[in-house]
Amino acid sequence: MSHPSSHVSCCASLRQTLLQGWQQTFPLHASPFRQMAARSGATPRELLSLCQELHRNGALQAIQPCWGEGLRRERWRFAFEPTDEATLVAALAALPGCFRIERAEPQTGLATVWAEIEALDDDTLVRQLQRLPSAPAARLRLPSASASAQALPCDDPEMAGHLEEGLLLCSRPFAQCSKQLGCSESRLLAKLHAWRRGGQLAGLALKPPPTRVPQPGLLALWRDAEPKAESLARLQAHSGVDRVVSSPCTPAWPWRLSLVLRAAPQLALDQLREIVAHAGLTMPDTSVRLLIDQPRDQALLFRTAA
């Protein structure tokens, strides 16, 4: 006897599970959908069919790698004063290494576009910046565990590049990828497991694309603040704080402290006052409303010609 209502409920639950995503936990296994089906209560065919449908509709990305802190790379933050903001923003969004763009309300003496870019090294960063219509007015290399001496360069960039293209949503995605690479499926899986053990790969993910709707925020900048470690910790611990950057002032980056707060425009300033007071700091020299765009959920490190 069929139970259509329970089947519909099961499908809705499965769809919700997929849209929440397997964040860095997509199985590194020759038949990953069989393993996922066993955990979700669906059959492998049902699960794969729904994944393919969501992918066709743009609600689910292809299977993507999530690079770990053990992979050596650099992360930079830039500020721009463009003559044509729309052209610059489009060019930034097209850079494979750019994963974050902030558009600030115009304010005298302050950059209107801010961006973050990851690259494997200085050469790949420079090649991407050369594609932009405007050079950055300020730049800062951000501290990161992935830029430490313990992090290692990728030992197979061709394989990494194929992974960044996205694995096909099929019953044997690793077998399909290995055919393109001209190697065996077992060799591909062995390499992925080795990368994960070494921390270069955090895992593979099956998840929705980042939202195309810009998110509101507020940028706060201090030129001369000297925050204590306790103050920085309090800023970083606040749920609404999205970015905290503390660095020595230099000609290339003239702000001692900067903070990005995600908040609705009508609440942002009041929230900033509370957060700053809790951290024991004075109000910033400058604050400006932002719209935050996410062109991709992580930088493409190996598809730099994209």
CATH number where 177 lies: 1.10.10.2890
At 275 the pLDDT is 96
Task: Please give the pLDDT value at position 8.
Answer: 43
DSSP reduced 3-state for 217: strand
Q: Are strands 286-293 and 98-104 parallel, antiparallel or unpaired?
A: antiparallel
Looking at residue 5, its pLDDT comes to 42
pLDDT for the residue numbered 304:
79
In a domain, 190, yes or no: yes
The boundaries of the domain holding residue 196 are 4-68+153-206
- The structural domain count of the chain equals 1
107 sits in the region (left: phi over 0; alpha: psi -120 to 50; else beta) called: beta
Distance set, CA 64 to CA 162, 183, 253, 299 (Å): 10, 19, 34, 11
Q: Is residue 127 part of a domain?
A: no
Q: How many CB atoms lie within 10 A of CB 285?
A: 14
**pLDDT at position 16:** 76
- The answer to the question of residue 214 being in a domain is no
Q: Give the whole-angstrom CA distance, residue 149 versus residue 55.
A: 39
pLDDT of residue 146: 80
Q: Residue 221: what pLDDT?
A: 97
pLDDT at 22: 76
Would you say residue 57 lies in a domain? Answer: yes
- Its pTM stands at 0.90
Say if 192 falls within a structural domain.
Answer: yes
Q: Which two tokens stand for residue 121?
A: 């090294």
108 in any annotated domain? no
In-domain check, residue 159: yes
| Segments in the chain below pLDDT 50 | 1-10
- Please, are residues 165 and 96 in contact by the beta-carbon 8 Å criterion? no
